[in-house]
Amino acid sequence: MKIFSRIVAWIYGLTSLIVAFFCLALWAKMLSLEQLQLHLERIDLTTIGIIGTSLIILGMLWLLFIVDYLHKSRAISFDNPGGEVKVALSAIEDFIVKRVLAQIKAVKRITTKAFATAKGLKLINRVVLWSDNEIPGTCGAIQDLIKKYLQDIVGVERISVIKVYVRGISTHIGEEEPKEEEPIIYE
């Protein structure tokens, strides 16, 4: 990622310098529009099209890599006696999914999105529940489990909100039955 970003930055930097040089040369009347047109006529239009398309594709890829990097590098931090500790929000999301699926058998699927806000950690959970369970009680159990996990295990004290959206209710007919596993108890 770093090498690709540096290469793209150099390419865009050099391209910007060349364009800026021609703009300044036109402004300072060191180069006339006719001379610029003669230089551009020597270059094949296909070459210009390929260069332009390549620059656009490189720029879009670069932006995608940067957005992906920023998404993966989201973290919360707190001070410990030994120094600063950073916990990636993606690690919290993955662990919440695993814990909820392991401990609450009423949940068929869950996806979690964590956000660090000024008021604290905000979690949005989208779940698919098995049909033979009480929805309010199950959602409350999910929220309690997540809150306890975040406070006791991760050490997050400021939790702004834990939202649970029920995306669907699934029957066991033709579906995989929920597995009976030993629950993991936090103390």
Q: State the pLDDT confidence band at 111, using cuts at 50, 70 and 90.
A: very high
Better pLDDT: 187 or 135: 135
pLDDT tens per residue, range 48-65: 778 778 878 877 877 777
Q: Three-state SS string across 162-179, please?
A: EEEEEEEEECCCCCCCCC
pLDDT tens per residue, range 125-141: 999 999 888 999 999 99
The domain spans of the chain are 2-72, 79-170
pLDDT for 173 equals 60
Count other C-beta atoms under 10 Å from residue 185's C-beta: 6
Residue 82 in this model has a pLDDT that exceeds 70: yes
| Angle (CA) 56 59 61, round 5° | 110
Better pLDDT: 174 or 67: 67
pTM: 0.57
Mean pLDDT, the chain, as a whole number?
A: 80
pLDDT for 32 equals 80
36 Cα distance to chain centroid: 45
pLDDT for 22 equals 76
At 79, list the tokens: 């001070």
Residue 66 near residue 19, CB atoms below 8 Å: no
Strand order in the sheet with 107-117: 107-117, 120-130, 159-170
pLDDT for 187 equals 43
| Calpha distance 156→159 (Å, rounded) | 7
CATH superfamily of 79-170: Cation efflux protein, cytoplasmic domain (3.30.70.1350)
pLDDT for 117 equals 80
